[in-house]
Structure 1
Amino acid sequence: MRNLDITALRSFVAIAETGGVTRAAGLLNLTQSAVSMQIKRLEESLDLKLLERVGRQVELSPTGEQLLSYARRMVALNDEIMTKLTDKGFEGVVSLGVPHDIVYPVVSKVLQQFRAQFPNVQVDLRASFTRELQEGLSRGEFDLILTTEEGLMPTGETISRAKMSWTGAENGIIWRQRPLKLGFSRRCMFRPLVQKVLDREGIAWEMALETDSDRTIEASIGADLAVCVVIAGTEPPHMVPIHHGGALPDLPESLINMYGAEQAQSQIVSALAELLRQGYADLKSGARVGGSVLREVG
Structure 2
Amino acid sequence: MSAPLDIDQLHTFISIVDTGSFTKAADRVFKTQSAVSMQMRRLEERIGKQLFAKDGRGNRLTAEGEKLLNYARRIIRLNNEAIAAFDDNRLEGTLRIGTPDDYADRYMPEIIGRFAKTHPNVELYIVCEPSVSLAEKMARGELDIALVTHNPRQRISDVVRTEPLCWVGSANHPLKDDAPVPLAVGRRDCLWRQLACSALDADGREYQILFTSWSSTVVAAAVLAGMAVSVLPESALRTGMKVLSSADGFPPLPPVQIGLMKRPGLSPSLMNAITDHITACLDNISPAVMPDDLDGEVKTFQRMPRARAAQVMPGW
Work out whether the TM-score is over 0.5.
yes
- 1:297 counterpart (308, 312, 316): 308
Cα deviation for residue 118 of structure 1 reads: 0.2
Which residue in 2 is equivalent to 1:40?
Answer: none
Task: Report which stretch shifted further, 257-266 or 124-133.
Answer: 257-266
Structure 1 residues 218 and 156: alpha-carbon distance in aligned structure 2, compared to 1, 3 A threshold: closer
Deviations 1:177-223 (A, max 9, x none): 53111111215331112111111111111111344444432332222
Which residue in 2 is equivalent to 1:230?
Answer: 232
Alignment partner of 1:143 is 2:144: yes
Rounded to whole Å, the distance in 2 between the matches of 1:155 and 1:261 is 12
Q: Please tell me whether the aligned partners of residues 282 and 308 of structure 2 are also in contact (alpha carbons under 8 angstroms).
A: no
Which residue in 2 is equivalent to 1:200?
Answer: 202
Rounded to whole Å, the distance in 1 between the matches of 2:240 and 2:81 is 47
Equivalent residue of 2:179, what SS?
coil
Rounded to whole Å, the distance in 2 between the matches of 1:261 and 1:140 is 7
Rounded to whole Å, the distance in 2 between the matches of 1:205 and 1:78 is 54
Structure 1 residues 92 and 263: alpha-carbon distance in aligned structure 2, compared to 1, 3 A threshold: closer
Rounded to whole Å, the distance in 1 between the matches of 2:126 and 2:109 is 10
Q: Please tell me whether the aligned partners of residues 172 and 240 of structure 2 are also in contact (alpha carbons under 8 angstroms).
A: no
Task: Report which stretch shifted further, 132-141 or 216-225.
Answer: 216-225
TM alignment of 1:231-270, pairs within 5 A: 231-236=233-238, 238-242=240-244, 245-260=247-262, 263-270=265-272
Q: Please tell me whether the aligned partners of residues 155 and 262 of structure 1 are also in contact (alpha carbons under 8 angstroms).
A: no
Equivalent residue of 1:249, what SS?
coil
Structure 1 residues 109 and 148: alpha-carbon distance in aligned structure 2, compared to 1, 3 A threshold: same
User: How many residues were matched structurally?
Assistant: 211
Equivalent residue of 2:190, what SS?
coil
- Taking structure 2 as the reference length, the TM-score comes to 0.57
Rounded to whole Å, the distance in 2 between the matches of 1:120 and 1:143 is 17
Rounded to whole Å, the distance in 2 between the matches of 1:261 and 1:283 is 25
Which residue in 1 is equivalent to 2:121?
Answer: 120
Q: Please tell me whether the aligned partners of residues 96 and 124 of structure 1 are also in contact (alpha carbons under 8 angstroms).
A: yes
Structure 1 residues 110 and 177: alpha-carbon distance in aligned structure 2, compared to 1, 3 A threshold: farther
* Matched AA of 2:171: E
Which residue in 2 is equivalent to 1:133?
Answer: 134
Cα deviation for residue 168 of structure 1 reads: 1.7
Higher relative contact order (CA 8 A, sep 6+): 2
Cα deviation for residue 145 of structure 1 reads: 0.7
Q: Please tell me whether the aligned partners of residues 164 and 253 of structure 1 are also in contact (alpha carbons under 8 angstroms).
A: yes
Rounded to whole Å, the distance in 2 between the matches of 1:79 and 1:159 is 25
Equivalent residue of 1:109, what SS?
helix
Rounded to whole Å, the distance in 2 between the matches of 1:154 and 1:210 is 23
Cα deviation for residue 139 of structure 1 reads: 1.7
Which ranges in structure 1 are unaligned for 5 or more consecutive residues?
1-75, 285-293
Which residue in 2 is equivalent to 1:61?
Answer: none
TM alignment of 1:24-43, pairs within 5 A: none
User: Max radius of gyration: which structure?
Assistant: 1
Cα deviation for residue 262 of structure 1 reads: 5.9
Cα deviation for residue 171 of structure 1 reads: 1.9
Rounded to whole Å, the distance in 1 between the matches of 2:283 and 2:95 is 22
* Matched AA of 2:186: S
Give the share of equivalent positions with the same residue, in percent.
20
Task: Report which stretch shifted further, 178-187 or 234-243.
Answer: 234-243
Structure 1 residues 211 and 79: alpha-carbon distance in aligned structure 2, compared to 1, 3 A threshold: closer
Q: Please tell me whether the aligned partners of residues 151 and 255 of structure 1 are also in contact (alpha carbons under 8 angstroms).
A: no
Which residue in 1 is equivalent to 2:103?
Answer: 102
Aligned residues: CA RMSD: 3.1
Which ranges in structure 2 are unaligned for 5 or more consecutive residues?
1-79, 287-304, 310-316
